[in-house]
Homo-oligomer: A and B are copies of this chain.
Amino acid sequence: MKIEENDKLILLTNDDGLYAGGFKTLIRIMEDFGKVVVISTTEGRSAMSQALTVKQPLRVKLLVEDDRKRIYACSGTPADGIKLAVSQLLDRKPDLVVSGINHGSNASASILYSGTMAAALEGCLYGITSVGFSLNSYSSSADFSGCEEYIRDICTMLLREPLPTGVCLNVNFPAVPASEIKGMMVARQALGNWQEEFEKRKDPAGKTYYWLTGSFINHEPEASDTDDWAINNGYVSVVPVTIDMTAYSFMETLKSKL
């Protein structure tokens, strides 16, 4: 693949692995926008948050190269993949980092655990306009057809008007047919958390082990300006996300306490 000066260069990743349905959909869409460099794992690295691989070396392998794209398999986390691509594999800074389409919502507190959104945050830390897409369905055979039109609109906008420093987008789709989507809604991150339901089991040697499971609880289900409300009411939620986690509203109070 030759990248010309006028080409838009788009870096793609996900955390469900190279063979996930949502990723295939995203790669196909993004090939229409420019030259595409894809980096991900073969197996998927869900719930890796913005973890980095520091105790093991990273391996990377060029799997596919044609006129429009390069596909790399990488041994690391989504955040590792973005770092490796930007600093080692690409000759120039990409115009856009796109991550997803995740199988499962990354609305509300899920953003904190999400490898998909960690990749977008990583792009954002490099000063690249970045967006993560997720569908509110964990099914491996989920239907992503409703996402396409919105992904095209959002990426067209982002390539025309880059995001401000330190801001990326967290886009979540409702799991409904395309015809039932009511439109896009700029939303805020809902206040919620995962309620754990560890499954305690015994191994063949009689020793205890735990499987992490759980279900998400929205603490403000009535608030109609949140991402979780949006995807549960037929809207595509678009949350602008900041890398600055300072709780500004509590700073003055804290000063008076310390």
Contacts and interface: CB of A to CB of B under 8 A. Distances in A.
A2 interface: no
A79 B214 CA distance: 14
A83 interface: yes
Interface stretch (A3-11, A93-101, A118-126): A118-126
A196 B157 contact: no
Contact of A125 (B47, B54, B109): B109
Contacts of A52: 47, 49, 113, 212
Interface residues of A, number: 74
B246 A188 contact: yes
Contacts of A157: 257-258
Contacts of A46: 54-55
Interface stretch (A32-40, A173-181, A234-242): A234-242
A151 interface: no
B84 A167 contact: no
Interface in A23-61: 46-55, 57-60
Contact of A184 (B126, B201, B239, B258): B258
Interface in A67-116: 77, 79-80, 83-84, 86-88, 109, 111-113
Nearest to A200: B88
A245 interface: yes
Specify the main secondary structure of chain A where it touches its partner: mixed
Interface in A137-185: 153-154, 157, 161, 163-167, 184
A191 B244 CA distance: 7
Contacts of A125: 109, 112, 193-194
Contacts of A112: 50, 118, 121, 125, 243, 245
A250 to B, nearest CB: 4
A198 B164 contact: no
Q: Which among A121, A157, A166, A212 has the highest number of chain B CB atoms within 10 Å?
A: A212
Given A57-B201, A58-B209, A167-B250, 6 more contacts: A46-B54, A47-B52, A88-B198, A109-B125, A164-B250, A242-B250
19 contacts: A47-B53, A49-B50, A54-B212, A57-B209, A59-B209, A59-B210, A60-B208, A80-B212, A86-B196, A112-B243, A154-B258, A166-B191, A166-B247, A240-B246, A240-B247, A240-B251, A242-B247, A243-B245, A245-B245
